[in-house]
Structure 1
Amino acid sequence: MADLSPSGTPDSGRAPARRLAALLLGAGIMHFVIPKQFDSIVPPRLPGRARSYTYWSGVAEIGVGTALLVPRTRRLGGRLAAVLFVAVFPANVQLVVDSLRNPRTPRLLTAVSILRLPLQLPMITQALTVGRSNPQR
């Protein structure tokens, strides 16, 4: 079923954009609330301090999430969300590697981290769909 705007016309971008925005805004805020959790998945081969990557990626997620909520910037926000999901993929892979290497990691966390990887593809696809949508003003 197509998403409808308040006027009853099809809106291919609004509801998916809101879902992506909620995800990104929530994750971005969490980068500042529990930064240690995010520091731990910054790939160690990256130069500099992990905390810098944590904060900058949090800022990026909040910025992109905000862009998705504003009709004038929704298409750009969709494209930026796709780029962001690709950019953070190495951190998601690092989480899996760390979970598998540490025998004390709870099985649920390991399972979730593994199952999360293939979910990146539909998130990227959804972001690109929003990036091609017709914004409703």
Structure 2
Amino acid sequence: MILALFYFTAGCFHLYATAGFVSIVPDWVPYPVVVVILTGCCELLGAIALLTPRFRRLAGIMLAVYAVCVFPANIKHALENIPVGGFLLGWGYHAPRLIFQPFLIWLALFCGDLVTWPFHSHRRVSA
């Protein structure tokens, strides 16, 4: 699954380049280094769980919740134009990234077999 690969890669980056991610953590979040490490671990575990039938639904829910929880960091990253790895990414990166977030939430739920919309509609049978 592409989403599992995406989250696995993101998790590795969170653990490898922790300092870059710490810079975008909002000031109101306590223990930013620990939070970044935990988010990396969550991404890795979510990616692996998404590939296992037994845990796929739970992974879909948790990755969707995760995507909501990290949204404030994405907003801070965009509004403060914080460089990552010495590079300023600009609104050409940030605007699509922020717009893509609701799709990422839906995709986690879809890949977790929790939603089928818009691909299958459930028709109600009236008595």
Determine if the alignment matches structure 1 residue 130 to structure 2 residue 95.
Answer: no
Poorly superposed stretches of 4+, deviation over 2 Å: none
State the partner residue of 2:42: 60
Shift, 1:114, TM fit = 2.4
Name the SS for the 2:64 alignment partner.
Answer: helix
Gaps of 5+ in 2: 117-127
Gaps of 5+ in 1: 1-17
Determine if the alignment matches structure 1 residue 95 to structure 2 residue 77.
Answer: yes
Determine if the alignment matches structure 1 residue 110 to structure 2 residue 93.
Answer: no
Structure 2: which amino acid aligns with 1:51? V
The answer to whether the Cα contact below 8 Å between 1:96 and 1:113 also exists between their aligned partners in 2 is yes
Distance 1:28 1:105 in 2: 20
Pairs within 5 Å for 1:1-137? 18-47=1-30, 49-99=31-81, 106=88, 109-111=89-91, 112-131=93-112, 132=114
Distance 1:114 1:38 in 2: 18
The answer to whether the Cα contact below 8 Å between 1:31 and 1:38 also exists between their aligned partners in 2 is yes
Give the TM-score taking structure 2 as reference length: 0.79
Deviations 1:64-113 (CA, angstroms, capped at 9, x unpaired): 1111011111111111111111111111011011108xxx973xx02212
How many residues of Structure 1 are paired with residues of Structure 2 in the alignment?
A: 111
Structure 2: which amino acid aligns with 1:110? G
- Percent of residue pairs bearing the same amino acid type: 34
Give the TM-score taking structure 1 as reference length: 0.74
Q: CA RMSD in A?
A: 2.0
Which is bigger in relative contact order (C-alpha 8 A, separation at least 6)?
1
